[in-house]
Amino acid sequence: MNIFTSELIGTAILIVLGNGVVANVVLSKTKGHNSGWIVITFGWAMAVFAGVFISSKASGAHLNPAVTLALVWLAKIEPGLILQYIGGQMLGAMLGSLLVWLIYKQHYSQTEDTVAKLATFSTIPAIRNPFHNLLTETLATFIFILAVLFIIAPDNSLGALDALPVALLVLAIGLSLGGATGYAINPARDLGPRIMHAILPIGKKGSSDWAYSWVPVVGPVAGGLLAAIVFKWISKG
């Protein structure tokens, strides 16, 4: 696989399993209805494991524009590859959301709660406050990407087996920091599915909440770049 295809497939797997577990928990009449936050966080961790494991060999399994931009800033990849990486990530996220919708189509029609429907696509803050929501996403992504940079450092690299510590890291962030904003920590993970929520023919779906959409994009990008700066400073020391 080339970089674009690898990122597309890996991100699609990430989203179909990650947003799939959310759909299983929040949509009406599913087998997993109301099974709770721990199920969601564990499902997302396994989604990360699968996506990273599948795409690690061909593209390094970024699956996240914040990761890509951090690695560009650290000169780990060429700037000319940004479009291949982020293009694959965005289209993969949209494809993954399409598959979730197809799988749970009957349950969307049985669900009256428009917020629950949106939650199967994108993140929603528990308490809406743009400053604190942005701060949360920035700090959560900073912690995530700083840890990832150490996990994938040359002297620690396990290749595809990096998928396991990264998945456990996502589980920890979800359990510890995810309650405030839903821990997007990935612009493609939120924006791609939000676009799909807007264009798919979901009955009584409500708003796609575009007023909030900038937070899970700007926060993760800022957090990722901050993590790259701190990682470089620590590595020099």
Span 113-123, pLDDT tens digits: 999 999 999 99
Helices (H), the chain: 3-26, 37-59, 65-73, 82-103, 105-109, 114-119, 130-151, 163-177, 187-199, 215-236
What mean pLDDT is reported for the chain? Answer: 95
- Per the structure, the complete domain to which residue 132 belongs is given by 3-236
Span 79-105, pLDDT tens digits: 999 999 999 999 999 999 999 999 999
- Contact present, 71 and 30 (Cβ < 8 Å): no
How many folded domains does the chain comprise? 1
CATH number of the domain to which 182 belongs: 1.20.1080.10
Percentage, residues of the chain above pLDDT 70: 96
Buried b (16+ CB within 10 A) or exposed e, 145-181: bbbbbebbeeeeeeeeebbbbbbebbbbbbeebbebb
Cβ neighbours of residue 137 closer than 8 Å, sequence gap 6 or more? 181, 183, 184, 185, 215, 216, 218, 219, 220, 223
In this prediction, residue 153 has a pLDDT band, given cuts at 50, 70 and 90, of: confident
pTM score > 0.85 for this model?
yes
Mean pLDDT value across residues 221-233:
97
Is the model's pLDDT at 162 over the cut of 80? Answer: no
Other residues' Cβ atoms within 10 Å of the Cβ of residue 187: 28
